[in-house]
Amino acid sequence: MTWPIELILYVVLLVTALASLEVHSLLAASVILTAFSFVCALLMLSVGAVDVAFTEAVVGAGLVGVLYIVAIFRTTRRSTD
Amino acid sequence: MRTPSRSLVVVLAARGLAPAIQLFALYVVFHGHYSPGGGFQGGVLLAASFVLVRLAEGYGAGQHQIPRRAGLLLGVAGVLLFGAVGAAAFLTGGNFLDHGRVPLPGFAPADLRSLMILVIEVGVAITVAAVLTAIYDELLGDEDDA
């Protein structure tokens, strides 16, 4: 009987997704997206897709967040032309 | 991320975590037959440990671990390992990735399949780790245009 946990996870998934869209700081948005990926991995674990959950946790919550942040540091606040 | 982090906590945590992540990555690669995981996930874990060292200890220290030029070379080497193992079955008239017919004397076909798929997983892991580290390096860019 795991449906209360899954319900909480779905709510947290929606909250993180909306928060990453609404927040103004790009850095905060990318950090919230890694949290979204981690909750997504937990949900995939709860439906029995362990391999997919593992990949999602490693890629989404591990490496892509770093790449987002590096990409954000490569941008500037104002355009140069 | 280009210079070493000024926080002692960050540097020491990265030093402690990176070897543990690499050991777990090797476990994931070599235990991929029996448990979730495999070449891709293990390779991403390896790349995460390399990127962690580059983030905490600075870009220069990471270059001693895996140089920027080695990234693409290792990526190509992994693909070639995959292709060579797949094409080895051609020598005895098998199909691509028909591992039971790889000409290695002294192995039963079932053992050969189990061994060769492990070699393929290692090739996938090398390629994924090298290319993801190379993506980080290229994204960070050169010294002069940073």
- Quick check: B50 and B66 in contact, CB under 8 A? yes
* pLDDT at site B60: 79
Among A54, A58, A63, the residue with its CB nearest the CB of B51 is A63
- Quick check: B37 and B28 in contact, CB under 8 A? yes
* pLDDT at site A16: 95
In a domain? residue B19: yes
* pLDDT at site B138: 86
Predicted ipTM of the assembly: 0.81
- The domain of B28 spans 8-140
In a domain? residue B94: yes
Distance CA B25, CA B44 (A): 8
Residue type, A4: P
Cβ-Cβ contacts under 8 Å, A74 against chain B: 139-141
For chain A, report the end-to-end CA distance as a whole number of angstroms.
59
In a domain? residue B100: yes
Number of domains, chain B: 1
In a domain? residue B58: yes
- Beta-carbon count within 10 A of B57 CB: 21
For chain B, report the end-to-end CA distance as a whole number of angstroms.
12
* Residue of A63, A64, A73 to mutate for B, most B C-beta atoms under 10 A: A63
pLDDT (tens, 9 = 90+) of chain B, 146 residues, equals: 677 777 889 899 999 999 999 999 999 999 888 888 888 999 999 999 999 998 888 887 878 888 888 888 999 999 999 999 888 888 888 888 888 877 777 788 888 888 888 999 999 999 999 999 999 888 887 654 44
In a domain? residue B38: yes
Domain boundaries, chain A: 3-74
Q: Which tens digit of pLDDT belongs to each residue from A8-50?
A: 999 999 999 999 999 988 889 999 999 999 999 999 999 989 9
